[in-house]
Chains A and B, each alone.
Chain A
């Protein structure tokens, strides 16, 4: 699946396209479908999110979504070297899921 991401204009936080808006939780991301370029253009024009782009991802059996590339997984879940700074603080699975 293809999901859309960018950084929130005000906070710089990593955000994911939910079909209606943007969420900081990658699990809220939706498959952007065939029209993803139109969505990107429209959202770029809204200027709420910096330079949105599409990445490949997979939806796992439990419904969670993980980007295919390690860089995007680090963006989604936080730095692998500070468990206290992962998206869900001190989540023991977050770092293991990135690497």
Chain B
């Protein structure tokens, strides 16, 4: 994986020193909150319901055991012994003191991590496929391209004050495991018929209050023009994106209002202009970065056979592993969704264990997944049983990947100052209901996603079943929706009808799954059945 060079480290260290001074000035009363707020947000420090919240970036979700140990140490030393992994492959700490903030950033910098650009109207953490560099179906490892974009976008002077926040996603397989088309810009690295590497640009996607699926504006950008094309896309947005209305300021609105054709025309014109301006980094820099992402020393000739005589282990292998490009290996997923647990939360002790497992069994690599789980990307099949036993003993052996219990949920009103309703209790009740009624396994793949407000951090628009918490006259109310997907078949969910209270929405989800079990045909997921039969049978079950 990538290692900082002297420039990366110097930039991060300089920022820590700068922020330490800003914190001191605030604590001594030399800065007002209005003056300090934009400075702390540039360093990922929010003020949430109970305390300051620090969001730490995990670039394209990749980290090593030393970094995970540090995240655990921070949870123990400065927070309350746990952290929350988010849908943007970041980690958040909920109980941070301003007095400690600079020390935390200094600790992070020791392991090549930071919280820069995890807030504000700038280019945020570049996200990617959590099985990058491991998946059997990828064309090429997308992370060197994501890293190149990270370096380009870090402290980019022209794009530090965009009309609104900006999210990139880079993948390199037909299967979309990263919600690529629901980002401001989604890039799919691919090869053309000549075998040349390039990038397909999807621009103008997003969730929030106006969800949109990004259209393709360019099928193939040669890889040695990747940054220049991205710069052109951003320049047009920066020039014409609306700054008068926060709710219409994202690039999706600009692309929609201009029309894909006109936006594309302007980007192409800007691109042609920029081609002569020396924007593109030297190709040698990409080659330098690529060297950091070379495959680890996989053993050759390993068997794919596995002793599955332990039924619980067999279930976990079936559910929580993904095919690897190297024979004898898999990617294993550690579910952070135990029955009745808080989606995405991990204790410091669990983080230390996960770090140790990465060190011992996965070439020292981990992946933070946007689904709020943790991946061990390169695991020998022969080691899976030992890994599972250790996970299971620590309460991390839940076999529920992509099932209803593996739901995404934002922190909601329990932690977030923007939320209108609580998300976590709904997630817990659904998890417990479907564990008790034993339907989870029979339902198979069913992606349920819960947001506590219209900002959609819980990706409810993209859930096979989506739940949105709203405030109705001071009471929590939950809108239910069906038919969303964030995969290669991306679609937006449609609202079923009037909302429910907390227990009512749990009952409604239960009833909807009964309709699916009754109506499904061979091999159909909940999503497929919904797409075939439509909303009517579900509405009948929910409201009649």
Residues of A within 8 A of B (CB): 7, 9-14, 47, 50-51, 68-71, 74-75, 78-82, 85
Contact = CB atoms under 8 A, between A and B. Distances in A.
A79 to B, nearest CB: 4
Contacts of B51: 7, 11-13
Contact of A81 (B47, B95, B342): B342
Contacts of B20: none
Contacts of B97: 10-12
Interface stretch (B309-317, B421-429, B492-500): B421-429
Contacts of B32: 47
Interface of B: 26-27, 29, 32-33, 47, 49-52, 80, 95-99, 342, 413-415, 419, 422, 424-425, 428, 474-476
B43 to A, nearest CB: 15
Given A11-B98, A11-B99, A12-B98, A81 B425 contact: yes
Contacts, number: 62
Of B27, B32, B50, B428, most A-chain CB atoms within 10 Å:
B50
B532 to A, nearest CB: 37
A87 to B, nearest CB: 9
3 closest A-B pairs by CB: A12-B51, A79-B414, A12-B52
Contacts of B424: 81
Secondary structure of the B contact surface, majority rule? mixed
A51 B32 CA distance: 10
Contacts of B419: 71
B29 A47 contact: yes
A74 B99 contact: no
26 contacts: A7-B47, A7-B51, A10-B27, A10-B97, A10-B98, A10-B99, A11-B98, A12-B47, A12-B51, A13-B51, A14-B49, A47-B29, A68-B474, A69-B474, A70-B474, A74-B49, A74-B413, A74-B414, A79-B50, A79-B415, A80-B414, A81-B422, A81-B424, A81-B428, A82-B342, A82-B414
B80 to A, nearest CB: 6
A71 B49 contact: yes
A57 B245 CA distance: 33
Contacts of A74: 49, 413-414, 422
B80 A12 contact: no
Given A12-B47, A12-B52, A75-B50, A70 B27 contact: no
Nearest to B46: A12
A39 B303 CA distance: 73
B76 to A, nearest CB: 15
A10 to B, nearest CB: 5
A9 B26 contact: yes
B106 to A, nearest CB: 18
A72 to B, nearest CB: 9
A80 B29 CA distance: 34
B276 to A, nearest CB: 48
A75 to B, nearest CB: 5
B254 to A, nearest CB: 32
A17 B150 CA distance: 45
A68 B29 CA distance: 32
A50 B415 contact: no
A67 to B, nearest CB: 11
A13 to B, nearest CB: 6
A50 B49 contact: no
Given A11-B98, A74-B413, A81-B424, 19 more contacts: A7-B47, A7-B51, A10-B99, A11-B51, A12-B47, A12-B51, A14-B49, A47-B32, A70-B413, A70-B475, A74-B422, A75-B49, A75-B50, A79-B50, A80-B425, A81-B342, A81-B422, A81-B428, A82-B414
